[in-house]
Amino acid sequence: MIIAVASDHGGFALKEKIKAFLRTREDIKIVDLGTNSEESVDYPIYGKACGEAVASGKADRGIVCCGTGIGISIAANKVKGIRCGLCTSVEMAELTRKHNNANMLALGGRTTDPDLAIEITKAWLDTEFEGGRHKRRTDMLDEMI
Ligand code: RB5
């Protein structure tokens, strides 16, 4: 599985920690779309780039980080075909896969403990979509943009 990762400066440190975790997984190849430092940058650029990598099929899924995870998830969700879930708990990560078939995960570098963020990432990677009634709803989402 190819995972695209991206962040702004507020999510940079967490993105690096997520990458270190992803490197421990033999089934995952990482594509890092930046940013590459804590110098201030604009999160819409990085959310859009990661969303486009997933929507185009260059990556199977994407993980984005900013200070709160909010701005970069909003940016990602503006790309057609993206369902990006901002998660602050393992339960949310499981549900955003089971119910929303989230192809992107957003995390807050300033709001979520890094160790919890890794647990959230594991749950999001390893939980399958349940389909059924949830597929009808995600199809409705995908028709919106
Ligand atoms: C950057 O200061 C901050 O606004 C950004 O990382 C994010 O939290 C926006 O939603």
Instruction: Provide the pLDDT confidence category of residue 135 given band limits of 50, 70 and 90.
Output: very high
Per-residue pLDDT of 86-123, as tens digits, reads 999 999 999 999 999 999 999 999 999 999 999 999 99
Q: Would the pLDDT of 20 be above 90?
A: yes
To the query of whether residue 50 is one of the catalytic residues in this protein, the response is no
Dist CA 109 CA 88 (whole Å): 11
Which of 43, 77, 86, 111 has most ligand 1 atoms within 8 Å of CB, for mutation?
43
pLDDT (average), residues 12-40 = 98
Catalytic: 99?
yes
Q: Which CATH class is domain 2-143?
A: alpha beta
> Quick one: tokens of 119?
């647990």
Task: Select from 66, 72, 112 the residue to mutate for testing ligand 1; criterion: most ligand atoms less than 8 Å from CB.
Answer: 66
Nearest CA to ligand 1 atom 6: 67
Contacts for 49-54 with beta carbons within 8 Å, 24 or more apart?
Answer: 49/6, 50/4, 50/5, 50/6, 50/76, 50/104, 51/75, 51/76, 51/77, 51/78, 51/79, 51/82, 51/84, 51/104, 52/79, 53/4, 54/4, 54/79, 54/81, 54/82, 54/103, 54/104
Both tokens of 76, joined, read 């990602």
Give residue 145's pLDDT: 75
Domain ranges, ordered by start, for the chain: 2-143
Residue 144 confidence (pLDDT): 93
* pLDDT value of position 79: 98
What is d(CA 17, CA 64) in angstroms, rounded to the nearest whole number?
A: 12
Tell me the per-residue pLDDT of 37-82, one tens digit each, with 9 for 90 and over.
999 999 999 999 999 999 999 999 999 999 999 999 999 999 999 9
Q: Residue 68 Cα, ligand 1 centroid: separation in angstroms?
A: 6
